[in-house]
Amino acid sequence: MFLVTAEEMQNLDKLTIDQVGIPGVVLMENAGLQVVKVIKEILGEVPGKQVAVFAGKGNNGGDGFVIARHLLNMGAEVKVLLNGEPADITGDAKVNLNILQNMGQKIFTINNSNSLNIVKLTLVYTDLIVDAVFGTGFKGAVNDHMGKIISLINESGKPVVAVDIPSGLEANTGQVHGPCIQATHTVTFGLPKLGLTIHPGKEYAGQLHIADISIPPDLVKKQNFNKFLLTKELVAQMLPKRHSQGHKGDYGRVLVVAGSEGLTGAAVLTSMAVLKSGAGLATLAVPRSLHDLMEIKLTEVMTKPLPETEKKTISRDALEEVIALTESADVVALGPGISTEPATAGFVRDLLPELNKPVVIDADGLNALAGSLEVLKKIEAPVVITPHPGEMARLAGIKTEEVQNNRIEVAREFAANWCVNVVLKGAETVVAGVDGSLFVNSTGNPGMATGGSGDVLTGVIAGLIGQGLAPVRAAAAGVFIHGYAGDLGALEKGQAGLLAGDILNLLPKVFRELEGA
């Protein structure tokens, strides 16, 4: 599913009006009806219910007027509270305001301090609140007066349905710079806005409903949007199909370079995730002293011992052996559990420019690049990096807080500057492609913040690349699948006790579901 900025959606609306010939007032009517449909689901029986519609002066307010009219016709007791003066309303919104007034509906203005008592009294008796004050064009912070009203709404404890976007939320960034409506439901029109899918906007939106307002699908396709919300349907379309005459070599050979003393689990989890994501063959290269242990733990994975340091980490002397191993591989997964030993970090920096196969770099593989990013420019093969916010901060030379406050911008800028596909992990994992594409994940939960979870993700992405997916698509599909497995695990066991091994073992179930999607 496409994600759009406010400007992209406004342009799409304009094209629908100008090129297709659907009048703006019809789009407004369709939008209002879709919100009413959600309100009916929340309230059940509408007749006799009290609904407060808070409306602004723009088209968002116009949607609110449509909603108020239909609820009135259904027998609800509706109170319309306008943040402005009726004389300020123009265009399609004015058409719908006039209809309401012709029906005898009183409009209460709430744009001054004297109106707070009206708001307070309204909120006591209302069954549901409609937020149609500010639309997707809003930026910055609401004024003090409207901020007080928003706070009263949030404190009321009543269900709130936001029209297109919660008032006070920036549609493009998901950022909030003052009071913001805490919606229980948000009905957004046409396509989901980027800010509704990422932190903190996602939390303010509540349950997100994506409403069809009759924008033709062919018109949407012509826009070449390159931002996507990852859904089951989209990911199912990405996955490779297995053919009846296939053999293990057809489904990818993955080389995993991982592990050190005390961090053997990372190597095991990554290697097994490769296989459980559908790859045909997995080879694990580990420090020599760990080889026997890996042979015992991993029945289905081939293992190769590598020269090691005194601290039982991969030595720089392993370079030629690993390069030779890559010749028979389709993709390399590098970094899980290899340690921050200086000699091992040197091995990583020496190896990367020699690779001619796609590589997924994670964990200590990324730490080896901090301060040495020029190595990335020397890699001719496609690269996927999978940093968590702290690793991203070290790579970019900024604070973790800056990463978290600007996740999309940081990921896209790093991808463009260093020609790598970036998987910025965390709540709503973001995938930024070298080609400018962007994917926002919709799966996952806090229970996945557990040791080894990222190693499983690395294995899934590498396994999908091995099966022929383009690296950015493998990364996008991988984060969705990984998060979905985590969600299934949380349903079965709860979030607190969720382990990386649980996520690993649920991967086949996720793939089976996606095959039927």
pLDDT digits (tens, 9 = 90+) for 54-101: 999 999 999 999 999 999 999 999 999 999 999 999 999 999 999 999
428 assigned to a ligand binding site:
yes
Are residues 315 and 253 located together in one domain of the fold?
A: yes
- Kindly report the number of other CB atoms within 10 A of residue 184's CB atom: 16
- Taking only the tens place, the pLDDT of each residue in 467-514 is 999 999 999 999 999 999 999 999 999 999 999 999 999 999 999 999
Residue 387's φ and ψ, nearest 5 degrees, are: -75, 145
What does DSSP assign to residue 496? T
Q: Are both 218 and 280 inside the same structural domain?
A: no
- Within a domain: 352: yes
188: pLDDT strictly greater than 90: yes
Helix (H) or strand (E) holding 218: helix 217-221
Residues 172 and 47 in one domain: yes
**Domain co-membership, 192 together with 281:** no
The answer to the question of residue 58 being in a domain is: yes
Tokens for 437?
A: 């594409």
Task: Write the pLDDT tens digit of every residue in 252-305.
Answer: 999 999 999 999 999 999 999 999 999 999 999 999 999 999 999 999 999 999
pLDDT value of residue 86: 96
Residue 477 lies in a domain: yes
Q: Quote the pLDDT of residue 58.
A: 97
Four-residue CA torsion sign, 190, 191, 194, 196? positive
Residue 454 assigned as binding residue: yes
Q: End of a domain among 225, 258, 291?
A: 225
* Joined tokens for residue 79: 């109170």
Q: Does 62 count as an annotated binding residue?
A: yes
How high does pLDDT run on average in the chain? 97
47 band by pLDDT with thresholds 50, 70 and 90: very high
**Where residue 64 sits, what CATH number does that domain have?**
3.40.50.10260
104 is in an annotated binding site: no
Determine the Cα–Cα distance for residues 256 and 432; give it in Å rounded to an integer.
Answer: 23
164 annotated as ligand-binding: yes
The residue out of 159, 192, 225 marking a domain boundary is 225
Q: Is 189 annotated as a binding residue?
A: no
Is 258 annotated among the ligand-binding residues? Answer: no
CB 334 within 8 A of CB 343: no
Residue 303, strand partner residues: 284
What is the CATH classification number for the domain harbouring 257?
A: 3.40.1190.20
Is the torsion defined by CA of 139, 141, 147, 152 positive or negative? positive
Q: Spell out the residues 6+ positions from residue 182 whose beta carbon is closer than 8 angstroms to its own.
A: 154, 160, 166, 204, 206
Give 304-327 pLDDT, tens digit per residue: 999 999 999 999 999 999 999 999
Q: Are residues 292 and 392 in the same domain?
A: yes
Q: Taking 80 as the threshold, does the pLDDT of residue 232 lie above it?
A: yes
Residue 314 in tokens: 């991969």
Residue 236 lies in a domain: no
pLDDT at residue 363 tops 80: yes
| Assigned token pair, 312 | 């039982």
Q: Which tens digits make up the pLDDT trace of 406-430?
A: 999 999 999 999 999 999 999 999 9
pLDDT band at residue 342 using 50, 70 and 90 as cut-offs? very high
| 195 plus 264 within the same structural domain | no
Rounded to whole angstroms, the Cα distance separating 434 from 381 reads: 12
**How much is the pLDDT for 114?**
85
Q: Are residues 278 and 173 both part of a single domain? A: no
Segment among 144-148, 212-216, 245-249 with least mean pLDDT: 245-249
Would 72 be classed as within a structural domain?
Answer: yes
Domain check: are 287 and 160 in the same one? no
Residues 219 and 273 in one domain: no
pLDDT surpasses 80 at 244? no
Residue 156 has pLDDT above 90, yes or no: yes
**Domain range for 87:** 6-225
Angle between helices 500-515 and 453-466 (to 10 degrees): 40
Q: Do both 57 and 199 map to the same domain?
A: yes
With helix as H, strand as E and coil as C, how does 253-305 read?
EEEEECCCCCCHHHHHHHHHHHHHCCCCEEEEEEEHHHHHHHHHHCCCCEEEE
Q: Is 52 annotated as a binding residue?
A: no
426 in a labelled binding site:
yes
* CA atoms within a 13 Å half-sphere pointing along the CA-CB vector of 45: 2
Please give the Cα distance from 193 to 42 (Å, whole number).
Answer: 23
The answer to whether 138 is a known ligand-binding residue is: yes
Residue 343 in marked binding region: no
317 appears as a binding residue in the annotation: no
β-pair partners for 130: 53, 161
* 315 annotated to bind ligand: no
Find out whether 318 and 338 touch, Cβ atoms under 8 Å.
Answer: no
**Do 1 and 226 form a contact (C-beta atoms < 8 A)?**
no
388 a known binding residue? Answer: yes
Residue reference for tokens 């409903």:
209
What are the tens digits of pLDDT across the range 249-264?
888 999 999 999 999 9
pLDDT at position 273, please? 99
DSSP string, 342-371: HHHHHHHHHHGGG--S-EEE-THHHHTTTT
Angle (CA) 327 332 333, round 5°: 155
Question: Positive or negative, the Cα torsion across 34, 36, 40, 45?
Answer: negative
- The annotation status of 429 as a binding-site residue, yes or no, is yes
Asked if the structure places residue 239 within a domain, the reply is no
Tell me the two tokens of residue 17: 């009006």
59 assigned binding-site residue:
yes
**Same domain for 170 and 262?**
no
278 is in an annotated binding site: no
**Mean pLDDT computed over 353-368:** 98
The model's pLDDT over 94-132, given as tens digits with 9 standing for 90+, comes to 999 999 999 999 999 998 888 999 999 999 999 999 999
Per-residue model confidence as pLDDT tens digits over 2-13: 999 999 999 999
Strands ordered across the beta sheet of 302-306: 227-229, 438-440, 430-432, 421-424, 383-385, 359-361, 331-334, 253-257, 281-287, 302-306
Q: Give the single-character DSSP code of 127.
A: S
Report the domain count for the chain.
2
Q: What is the pLDDT of residue 418?
A: 98
Residue 234 lies in a domain: no
Please classify residue 47 by burial: count the beta carbons closer than 10 Å to its beta carbon, then call 0-12 exposed, 13-18 middle and 19+ buried.
exposed
Establish whether 63 is an annotated binding residue: yes
Residue 347 clears pLDDT 80, i.e. is over it: yes
Asked which of 225, 256, 282 is the last residue of a domain, the reply is 225
Confidence of residue 246 (pLDDT cuts 50, 70, 90): confident
Q: Is the domain of 389 the same as that of 276? A: yes
Q: Examine residue 231 and state whether it is found in any structural domain, yes or no.
A: no
Q: Is 88 annotated as a binding residue?
A: no
Q: With cut-offs at 50, 70 and 90, classify the pLDDT of residue 242.
A: confident
Q: What is the pLDDT of residue 250?
A: 82
